[in-house]
Structure 1
Amino acid sequence: MARIFSSPAPPGTCSILAEFISRTSGPLKAANVSAAVRSEGQVQSLSNLGVNIVQVDVSNELAVKEAVVSNEIDIVIHTASAVDSHIVSALIKALGQRRESSGQENYFIHSSVATIFSAEGGWPFGEVRDTDPIFEKEKEIEAAHPVRKTGIVVTELAKAQGVTSFNIPVPQVYGRGSGEWRKLSVSIPAYIRTSIKHKVVYKFDKDGSPHSVHISDLVAFYVLLTEKILQKEPIPSGEKGYYFPISHRTHWWAVMERLAKALHARGLVMEPKPEVWPSDDIAAEYLGFQRRHIRAIGTSSGQLVPVNAYRLGWQPKWDEETFLASLDDEIQAVQELDTVKSTVFDNPASNE
């Protein structure tokens, strides 16, 4: 029986966990799922799900090794941090030790951030397909982004440890998640809460069109990938194991126009039209994002072409039209559920 280890602190992973344990047939039904948590509160929240709850400090290498080895983990789905290479190193080394003791193949699924493949994210090569030699190109970039550095560590260390790795650059996520923990995404709720607080919807001086995915479609991708692994299907991994789970683009100015009208109709902002941010510094301060990443978050577009993800058989259901039509639901979700702050680069797959 395969044993899967996931960290549900980011709600995107909570949604993945909820989908895993809801399966009544297929390879996931027979899998033994463990959920790594950081706090006692999370232990209590997830204790009734019927999964093995492991409270562990993922930054503690010895604790991680003990958790992985003692719980006989074969697959790790990692969404705890896209920027902390120490966490991924600890998890991959633990999997390597588990492989040595069990003699079985082990897998590491790493969640990254898609904006690092935009010009604003330091990507100089233009259009990129997930079937391109991405790893080699990333190694060429001298001033590597911390997210990129962590991804390189994943590929190199996993190979050295005999662990099969997959790199998932997650685009902008939206929609209400499922599971027992946080349920909101990062960017859209940040814009909504900021607009409500300051009574105005802001947009950047440059329009951006980032790649996007609804949380339900993202979860479906992780489920599909994990099922392929459990069925031992020969799919791209390691240096070729990049997957772009992208369903459509999102045009920020169109989003801000819709948000301004919807928030004004609720009496939450003063005007039904957005204004331009006075400065990037103010945008970073109000939204709660790091100043050095604010242009990438607010204005990037990128030219990512998903191939591997669709070759698996992934079929996302959401497009830009349905997303724009759902923005009033996004506002409602923030008003109902917005209790925990998140950071976009720590939790790439998050749906807090």
Structure 2
Amino acid sequence: MSSNILITGAAGYVGGSIIADFLSSSSPVLKGSRITAAVRSDEQAKLLSESGINVLQLDLTDEKAVVESLVKHNINIVIHTASSLDLTLALNLLAGLAEQQKASGSKAYFIHTSGLSAFCPETGWPQGVMKDSGPIFETEKQLADSFSLRKTDVTITETAKALGITSFIVVPSTVYGKGTGQWNQLSVIFPIAVQASIKQKSVSKFPEDGNIAGVHISDLTELYGLIVKKILQGSGDTIPNGTHGHYFAIAHEMAWWETLGRLAAAMEARGLVASSETQVWTSDEAAAEATGVPAIFVEIFFNSSANIIVDNAFKLGWKPTWDKARFFENIDDEVVSVLELGKAKSSLIDSLFLAAKN
């Protein structure tokens, strides 16, 4: 099955890495498909075009433009990484896929990127362990009004079903590692922690420890690739999808205090902090000021965990190559990336401030 794949957020960390890894893949099915990057700005379009990438400069808030573009370019698979919070963008893309599906008669597929915070007790998710092959959608629907990410996930799944579009929701955990995209190669959580620590000359933690789930960017893009390959091989409607189609990208867990201790040791070795001993934030407001994350979200952002057992991804054949030991052995890479690349070119924090305001 030859397809035209549109990846939104292509100038971002995750979207850019998906494009780069897809284009460098040796997979015959991926090589046989046309991959297009959706970006916002002239500067982003110019950089990606000069790198030999098919680029579509598109305002995802403009439904008419989105629909016309998806039909014109015969897009039948969308991987949406531009925003997990802004429901309007996803609905516009679904409308475009629906029109393309009518015009071409070919099946359309939508892969949405959510966030692990929707599945954390800190945001109202039930305590206890749950498999991602279990009643994830039903639980999200019951709790949709209490957290915006859950509302977005549920609306996307139900809208896609009503339009006859097969949907999947990928839920990344804490992503680390240097990305492979052209525009932004920095993740979010660890670079912000590193930058705040450099500013303060110390690494700080919240008063209560917790486990966080992690995944290397290369393992995350591999999961997207597995879903797309199944679609291209004609089994996109037989693997878990729709109300059963949550795919959690959780490769391993790690204790947050231990992780920050390792980070502090790496930063002390480089003379970036005064001590390998971690400090404790005096308040959420102090953490917010140092990290630049809204106070209402700061502890969820850095210190939330989800008791989800990965099932769907492993059934697809997902085999993460990074575990906790490998991450800890290479944690200095997170510091080096910040020193080399500076601040991440991410709109996520802006989205959080908007959500906090609303």
TM over 0.5: yes
Whether 1:246 and 2:247 are equivalent positions in the alignment is no
Go from structure 1 to structure 2 and tell me whether the alpha carbon gap of 1:141 and 1:300 turns closer, same or farther (over 3 Å shift).
same
AA aligned to 2:241 is: S
The aligned counterpart of 1:56 is: 58
**Are the counterparts in 1 of residues 144 and 151 from structure 2 also a CA contact under 8 Å?**
no
Whether 1:291 and 2:278 are equivalent positions in the alignment is no
AA aligned to 2:88 is: H
Deviates more, 1:287-296 or 1:97-106: 287-296
Q: TM-score, normalised by structure 1?
A: 0.95
**Are the counterparts in 2 of residues 77 and 110 from structure 1 also a CA contact under 8 Å?**
yes
**Cα RMSD for the two superposed structures:** 1.6
Shift of 1:316: 0.3
The aligned counterpart of 2:333 is: 329
Shift of 1:343: 5.1
AA aligned to 1:2 is: S
For structure 1, the residue ranges without an aligned partner over 5 or more in a row are none
The aligned counterpart of 2:150 is: 148
Shift of 1:280: 0.7
SS in 1 for 2:122: coil
Go from structure 1 to structure 2 and tell me whether the alpha carbon gap of 1:4 and 1:347 turns closer, same or farther (over 3 Å shift).
farther
Shift of 1:285: 2.1
Q: Deviations over 1:113-142 (max 9, x none)?
A: 012211012202521211012111111116
The aligned counterpart of 2:96 is: 94
Aligned mates of 2:346, 2:96 — CA distance in 1: 27
Aligned mates of 2:348, 2:309 — CA distance in 1: 22
Give the counterpart of 1:302 among 306, 322, 335: 306
Aligned mates of 1:250, 1:10 — CA distance in 2: 25
Aligned mates of 2:105, 2:86 — CA distance in 1: 29
The aligned counterpart of 1:190 is: 192
The aligned counterpart of 1:2 is: 3
For structure 2, the residue ranges without an aligned partner over 5 or more in a row are 353-358
Q: Which residues in structure 2 correspond to 1:1-352 (within 5 Å)?
A: 1-7=2-8, 8-141=10-143, 143-233=145-235, 234-342=238-346, 344=348
Percent of aligned pairs sharing the same letter = 43
Aligned mates of 1:179, 1:22 — CA distance in 2: 11
Shift of 1:264: 1.4
AA aligned to 1:46 is: L
Aligned mates of 2:14, 2:60 — CA distance in 1: 18
**Are the counterparts in 1 of residues 143 and 150 from structure 2 also a CA contact under 8 Å?**
no
Q: TM-score, normalised by structure 2?
A: 0.94
Go from structure 1 to structure 2 and tell me whether the alpha carbon gap of 1:301 and 1:200 turns closer, same or farther (over 3 Å shift).
same
**Are the counterparts in 2 of residues 187 and 344 from structure 1 also a CA contact under 8 Å?**
no
SS in 2 for 1:66: helix
Shift of 1:341: 4.5
Go from structure 1 to structure 2 and tell me whether the alpha carbon gap of 1:42 and 1:27 turns closer, same or farther (over 3 Å shift).
same
Go from structure 1 to structure 2 and tell me whether the alpha carbon gap of 1:311 and 1:268 turns closer, same or farther (over 3 Å shift).
same
AA aligned to 2:341 is: L
AA aligned to 2:123 is: G
